[in-house]
A and B are shown apart, each in its own frame.
Chain A
Amino acid sequence: MTGLTGAEQSNFPEEQMSDWVEACEAADIDEEDVMRFDHGGRTFAIYRSPDDEYFATDGLCSHEKVHLADGLVMDDIIECPKHNGRFNYKTGAARGAPVCVNLRTYPVKVDAGKVLIQIG
């Protein structure tokens, strides 16, 4: 695993960007899979794409607040385990009914085998 950076998109103004938080070992997540990460009373979903890049979004589906980490990752899509709402986890974009609100995404980097996310 090389230290690739994940989602470049950020919804935060520069000044709000805070510390990077260690989420897990890079090897903890299989390729084309997802893992839940809780931090500071919030919950996130960390993804490893089929081409071995890492991404992070809010952990709960925007439809009914279900943990997306129980869902299925196929290519660049995470599908909610409850009602099959689909999102592109790289951009956070909702991909049709029943979800219509995008997920917030967070910058991710891999450093020395650890996945770090900037949760702002």
Chain B
Amino acid sequence: MTKAMVIIGAGECGGRAALALRDLGFEGPVTLVGDEPHLPYERPPLSKEAMAGEAPAIKAITSDEILAERSIRHIHSVQAVAIDRAAHVVRLSDGSALPYDKLLLATGSLPRKLPMPGLGARCVYLRTFNDAKAIRAHLRAGNRVAIVGGGFIGLELAASARKLSATVTVIEAQPRILMRGVPAEIAETIHKQHEAEGVTILAGQGIAAITDDGAEVRITLAGGLEVVADLAIIGIGAMPVTGLAAEAGLTIDNGIAVDAELRTGDPDIFAAGDCCSFPLAVYGGRRVRLEAWRNAQEQGALAARNMLGAGETHAAVPWFWSDQYGLTLQIAGLSDEGHSVVRRDLEDGAFILFHLAGDGRLVAASGIGPGNAVARDIRLAEMLIAKRAKPAPEALGSQTVKLKSLLAA
């Protein structure tokens, strides 16, 4: 009997999974269900390249023609409302029901809401293409933009807004920007760049109150400062979308809990991408949840293989990047695994921090520089991390030692 594959969530992860099932030769029915009206598209450009033009352009990862040609049924603008595990059926918000043999939950994440009263129409979040369009309409000279949260989304939007000559203030409750997962030295480089571009960064400033009268937003900080803006963009993190899984009785543990093969407690249900937490082999099975584009891609493809019975375990090293102005940051691995740091300086002010565990193992590398100055070395570091290599700190720190030579060792 031909099996039916159903994927809930038509973002990067779900889209890649659907295409991967066909790449792997699966010929049965594949259905991709998404609650947005669009084809699966890339989200990273929404805070960056999409803001550059007059109107944001969507960067779809596939087309209607390809989906038709590959017999992938894409049901859009519809939510999955319940999973009947006993009957192997997913119920949708349009009243229909989809039978499945294997189900993939690629439900992604949603912006964490600022838990305060007073937010109105001029307080917005960025997750979808439609959100990006709404934000873009406010980015112009003379407009004041307040960004709540000095994380990646907030800072990338700050850079985009400055390029369009808006007045930008970033408000961060923590003592510095990028507290989560980014070393202080690198955050400092980014902070300076924003200030040089004319962004005001107010770090260590909690918010006491917000009022939004529909014309402007007033943000009163705990220290008494007041920031008045035409638009407040809130970027204080993301929450995994787990409601559907939780109601179906699946285990939730900082996301839909899956094993190394991305399988939930139900052998016929998988989860992948932002919505799931999984054991990361490279750190001894530490359970993590990643909000990253490459992870969404890789896990979508891995889930597809395992839905077809491959039984492969997730082995990738986390990797992500951020572009702000002409700077690119790339991080491979999780720097909080490190106990000591070795710095390697590259050309044009670029540098890389190598994070070493107590036993000398390379566990992460964080780099920043103009353009793609750090890309090659970060990629090599990622391979060293995957090999669980213990490179000599002197070699890592010396610009004259090629990282590739350490890989061969």
Residues of A within 8 A of B (CB): 32, 64, 66-67, 70-72, 79, 81-84, 97-98
Contacts and interface: CB of A to CB of B under 8 A. Distances in A.
B32 interface: no
Contacts of A98: 42, 61, 297
8 contacts: A70-B375, A71-B375, A72-B376, A72-B379, A72-B380, A84-B294, A98-B61, A98-B297
Given A97-B16, A97-B301, A98-B61, A84 B379 contact: yes
Interface string B303-322: 00000000000000001010
A79 B328 CA distance: 17
A32 B373 CA distance: 18
Interface string B379-409: 1100000000000000000000000100000
Of B16, B372, B380, the most chain A CB neighbours within 10 A belong to B372
B376 A83 contact: no
B13 to A, nearest CB: 11
Size category of the binding interface on chain B: 20 to 34
A67 B375 CA distance: 11
B371 interface: yes
B294 A83 contact: yes
Contact of A70 (B301, B319, B372): B372
Nearest to B323: A82
A99 to B, nearest CB: 11
A82 B372 contact: yes
Interface in B7-50: 16, 19, 42, 49
Contact of A97 (B49, B297, B328, B379): B297
A98 B61 CA distance: 8
A89 to B, nearest CB: 15
Contacts of A84: 294, 319, 379
Interface in B218-247: none
Contacts of B375: 70-72, 81-82
Contacts of A81: 372, 375-376, 379
Contacts of B49: 64
A29 B297 CA distance: 33
Interface string B344-371: 0000000000000000000000000001
Nearest to B294: A84
A71 B376 CA distance: 6
A82 B374 CA distance: 10
Nearest to B16: A97
B297 A79 contact: no
Contacts of A66: 372
B135 to A, nearest CB: 21
B379 A82 contact: no
Nearest to B300: A97
B67 to A, nearest CB: 14
A40 B380 CA distance: 33
B119 to A, nearest CB: 34
Given A84-B294, A97-B297, A67 B372 contact: yes
Contacts of A70: 371-373, 375-376
A81 B330 CA distance: 10
Contacts of B404: 32
A81 B377 CA distance: 10
Given A70-B376, A71-B372, 18 more contacts: A64-B49, A66-B372, A67-B372, A70-B375, A71-B375, A71-B376, A71-B379, A72-B379, A72-B380, A79-B379, A81-B376, A82-B321, A82-B372, A82-B375, A83-B294, A83-B321, A84-B319, A97-B61
